[in-house]
Amino acid sequence: MSELAGLKREFDLQLFNQEKTEDATPKRKREAREKGQVAKSADVNAAVIMLVIIVTLYWLKNFYLDEFSRLIVFFIDGGVGWNLSEENFKVIVQESIFAIAKLLGPILVVAVVAASISNFSQVGFLVAPEAIKPKLENISPLKGFKKIFSIKSLVELVKSLLKVSIVGFTSYYMVRGNFTELLLTIEANARGVYFIVLSIIFKVAITAVVIFSVIAVLDYIFQRHEFNKQLRMSKQDVKEEFKQTEGDPQLKSKIKEKQRELATKRMMQDIPDSTVIITNPTHLAIALKYEVEQMDAPRVVAKGADLIAQKIREVAAEHDIPIIENKEVAWMLYENVEIGGEVPADLYQAVAEILVMLYRLKEKGKL
């Protein structure tokens, strides 16, 4: 029973580690962005474009009235009349193309600018070549079937129905509320009819844009939530990513241990060339090298504590390197000077006294 319970706990733990419970790491978000996967709402772009186009049309309403009037005069009274010769046909085509460009040009320009600004405000500057690469999996019938009946598709369907309903009801109640103004078109001239109808259209459009903006904000929140949910990672995914970016902790530990072994080995090889070993006397050992003509100050070639200190003393004894006991200097050198570093100026006096004592002992033949 205990073995079964242990296996069950291990199985439950594995399942727990596979659950997408962790927020996406910066690396995961960066990789998704490089693939073109970002949180954005098409409704936000649509609402901004609609608003900008409506404002542009309202601002240029007099321009459009004059242009429509000019076209009517050209095709009916002035222009080419009813004589549709080859030459006149060319004139009609040229004039039509020119008129379409003048009428649609401002709208297209502001729509492109608005779409660019809206998209940039949501995702920033993004170039993702991988997103436009053709993929065979995208034409899979099974995958397409899953998309059709997914939660996201259902939300899009609800939004589309909501938009159509809003436009229908808004148009109906706006026209109904402005029915008196529509009756005035019976007695108004062409210019008056234009501005009356345009006023009602703008009221309907602005109301629809306001409602669409609310839907767009809610959709943007929903899209961000779904995107973050899609990028969630399991605890195992986080561990694997950490291993890939930072390296396996066990491997790093082994590498550091090997580096310490190599450093210790090189340090021990330098001890035979040292001038003196300073100890405290058993806990620490620091090997100093000093050559008067070649060095400005004594240099630490090896140091260590406990077992390493003992090994330093053993190597020093094998090569007849003098060992001098000085607890204070030993601690100061061990704490403040790295291997290969020079003795600091504040220790010159203490180290110099040790070296002078060493040279005197050598002169007397006691070393």
Which residue type does 182 have? L
Write the burial class of residue 47 (CB in 10 Å: 0-12 exposed, 13-18 middle, 19+ buried): buried
- For 60-116, the DSSP string reads THHHHHHHHHHHHHHHHTSTTTT---HHHHHHHHHHHHHHHHHHHHHHHHHHHHHHH
Tell me what pLDDT residue 140 has.
Answer: 55
Look at residues 42, 39, 58 and name the one whose alpha carbon lies nearest to residue 110: 58
Structure tokens at 173: 């109640």
Tell me what pLDDT residue 359 has.
Answer: 77
Tell me what pLDDT residue 15 has.
Answer: 46
Dist CA 32 CA 199 (whole Å):
46
Domain extent listing, the chain: 32-134+163-230, 267-363
Q: Tell me the per-residue pLDDT of 127-152, one tens digit each, with 9 for 90 and over.
A: 655 555 555 555 555 555 555 556 66
In which residue ranges of the chain is pLDDT below 50?
Answer: 1, 7-8, 11, 13, 15-16
Query: 286: helix, coil or strand?
Result: strand
Q: Tell me the per-residue pLDDT of 33-65, one tens digit each, with 9 for 90 and over.
A: 777 777 788 888 888 998 899 889 888 888 888
Dist CA 225 CA 270 (whole Å):
62
Taking the complete model, does pTM exceed 0.95, yes or no? no
Tell me what pLDDT residue 82 has.
Answer: 55
Look at residues 111, 98, 102 and name the one whose alpha carbon lies nearest to residue 56: 111
Tell me what pLDDT residue 109 has.
Answer: 92
Look at residues 197, 198, 191 and name the one whose alpha carbon lies nearest to residue 72: 191
Tell me what pLDDT residue 78 has.
Answer: 55
The CATH code for residues 267-363 is 3.40.1690.10
